[in-house]
Amino acid sequence: MSGRTEGGAVERHRSPLGLFNLNNGHALGIALPFGSMPAHPLIDLASQAFDLGTTEIRLAPGRALLFLGLSATSCPALQASATTLGFVTAASDPRTRIAACPGTPACASGRIATRAIAETVAAECPDLLDPSLTLHISGCAKGCAHPGPAALTLVGDENGAGLVVDGTVKALPAGYRPGYDAARGVGGVLAAMRAQRHPGETAAACLTRLGTAGIAELYRRN
């Protein structure tokens, strides 16, 4: 399940995640990470859902799925299965703050492995991807996953993985590093935020305080 815009929950419409009480039962909202998922996990999840009593699966905003007709006791079991299969099951999942296109090798235009970078950053720095911050990882300068500006944008081109601060993929990157090592560079920026963020300060506010030049240096050297 994919398409031109692969932003997932970073899109304007948020994904309906979690349990919803309905007049005729319950519904469970589950989102696809970065807006798409391979066929096998989708098939496995659908099979388990119908075994647990799901009567219908509907498409929902934010590249999500609504599983209808569940009982209150079957929802946790399906949610746990979805988590194990790699789906997004909670609004607190750091992947909801990352927009990532398919990238290489899925897209012929891609120059960096966007999904691998996104998964690594989400796993290593979940506490720093708060609602104030959007990270966009684009395989090329087309920006299919997130056409607008983001706090941090990684874009692949002939020079490697460029980092744009508070801009779009069309902007001139403030710094570069090899595409295969881009996740470590972003991790360095986020680690500096963790060390320097003031109590109660949002991630976006901390980035503004660090400044474009400082962020670019952190990205290049780490």
Q: Under CATH, which number does the domain 94-221 receive?
A: 3.30.413.10
Amino acid sitting at position 205 = A
**Per-residue confidence band for 32, with pLDDT thresholds at 50, 70 and 90:** very high
> What CATH fold (topology level) applies to the domain 8-85?
Sulfite Reductase Hemoprotein; domain 2 (3.90.480)
- Cα–Cα dist 217/222, whole Å: 8
- Residue-range domain boundaries for the chain: 8-85, 94-221
pTM over 0.95: no
pLDDT of residue 12: 44
Q: Model confidence over 110-136: pLDDT tens digits?
A: 999 999 999 999 998 888 888 888 999
Q: Are 157 and 141 in contact (CB under 8 A)?
A: yes
Proportion of the chain above pLDDT 90, given as a percent: 75
- Give the position of tokens 């989708």: 42
Least confidently predicted of 8-22, 51-65, 200-214: 8-22
Q: Model confidence over 74-91: pLDDT tens digits?
A: 999 999 999 999 999 998
